[in-house]
Amino acid sequence: MGIRSEALKKFIYAVPGVVKQDRVLAIMTKVEKSCTVIDERVPLNPEFTNSKVSCPIELSLPPGVMLVAGKDDMVVDYNPGIWPNPPAAALMEMSHFGLISIVVELKKFKHSYRIKIEAEKGAGRVLVELTGVAEVEKGERIALLQKISEALELPLEFSGSNSLPTGRGKTQVAVSYLEPPNSSTELQCNLSHDAYSSLLPRVMAEAKGKMDSWRVVNSGSRSFSELISGINRLGFPCRKTEITYTWRLRSHRDFAAMTAMAVRNEYGEVAQSMFEFEFGGDKRGQFDMAANKKGGFKLWFSFDLKADQSEFTRVTGIKLKEDH
C-alpha cells in the first residue's frame, strides 16, 4: 500500500507495519485527545475506484462514503452485446452529460476499418481509422477513404486521387496519414445533430448491430449516479462493464468504509487524506491512510519540520519510523 508523497508534508513518517481497524481507531483517538484537529482533509483528495459490474448497473456504496463529480468518471464496455437500433436522439440528448463513443469494426472494399461515432455537448463527430494498410500507397488510401466516406454519406469532398478531403459547409475535417511501416490512416470530421442521427443507424445496420466497444465519460457537470441512470434507461448492451468513479469519506471517522471500497477497487487498495492537526502550541502535522481489501491499514504522519516528529511522539506516545 502506498500514497503519493507530494500530497504530504515535507517530513514523512509511518506507523510500522500494517495495522487492523481497532488499532487505527486507538491511534486516531490518541491524536484527537492529544492534539487539535484543525482541518478535515477528506474533501481535498477524492479517490478513484475502478470496478467491473453487470448491467443494469447498480452502485451501492457503504455508509460513510459519498460520490464526488469527477471529469474522469466513466463507464466502458470492451465486449458489449448487439445493439441494432441505438436511440440516436436520446444519445445526443445524453451527450450533455459527457462524451459518448460507439466503436464498430467493418470490412468493406477488401479492407478492415474502425468507425468511432461520438456525441458531446449536443454535437457529433466521426472517426474512421484504416487498419492493415501498411503496404498501401497514399493515393490508394485516400481513394479508400473516399469510398468509405461516400458509403457512409459523410459531409466530405474529395478533389483528386492524392488530395485530402475537405468538409462541406462548416464541417471541419482532419486526416492523419502515417507513412509505412505504420499501418493506420485516420479521418475525423464533425457532424451536425441531424448528420449524427442519420449516420449512427446506417453504421449499426452495416455492422449488424455488433459493437467493438462503447464508452460514456462524465463531463463533471452531473453526478455519477445520474450518468448510470441514463445508461440504464437507454439500454446500453453489456456483459461486464468497467466503471470508474470518484468518491470520498464523509469524515475521517468513517475510515472503516475504506476496506469495503478497497474490495470494490480492481487494484485492491484505496487511500484517503484524513486531517491536519496542531500540537505543542504552533506545530502542525498531517494524517493520511491507505487500506487494502484484506482489512489492513497503513498510516502516515507528516510534518513541516523534522524535529516536530519527536515532539509528536512525546505528546501522543505514537511511535513512528521514517518513510518515503
- Examine the pLDDT at 182 and tell me if it is beyond 80: no
Which range among 21-30, 70-79, 81-90 has the greatest average pLDDT?
21-30
- Examine the pLDDT at 175 and tell me if it is beyond 90: no
Query: How would residue 239 be classed by pLDDT, with cut points 50, 70 and 90?
Result: confident
pLDDT score for 13: 97
pTM score, whole prediction: 0.85
Q: What is the mean pLDDT of the chain?
A: 90
Q: In whole angstroms, give the CA distance from residue 227 to residue 94.
A: 9
Residue-wise pLDDT tens digits, 302-317? 999 999 999 999 999 9
pLDDT score for 160: 67
pLDDT score for 257: 97
- Examine the pLDDT at 20 and tell me if it is beyond 90: yes
Strand partners, 103: 116, 213
Higher-scoring residue by pLDDT: 170, 148: 148
User: What are the DSSP E strand ranges found in 149-296?
Assistant: 156-157, 166-167, 173-177, 185-191, 213-218, 240-249, 269-279, 283-292
Query: How would residue 246 be classed by pLDDT, with cut points 50, 70 and 90?
Result: very high
- Examine the pLDDT at 179 and tell me if it is beyond 80: no
- Examine the pLDDT at 294 and tell me if it is beyond 80: yes
Q: Which helix (DSSP H) or strand (DSSP E) does residue 75 occupy?
A: strand 74-77
Nearest residue to 191 (alpha-carbon basis) of 165, 172, 207: 172
Q: What is the mean pLDDT of residues 172-181?
A: 70
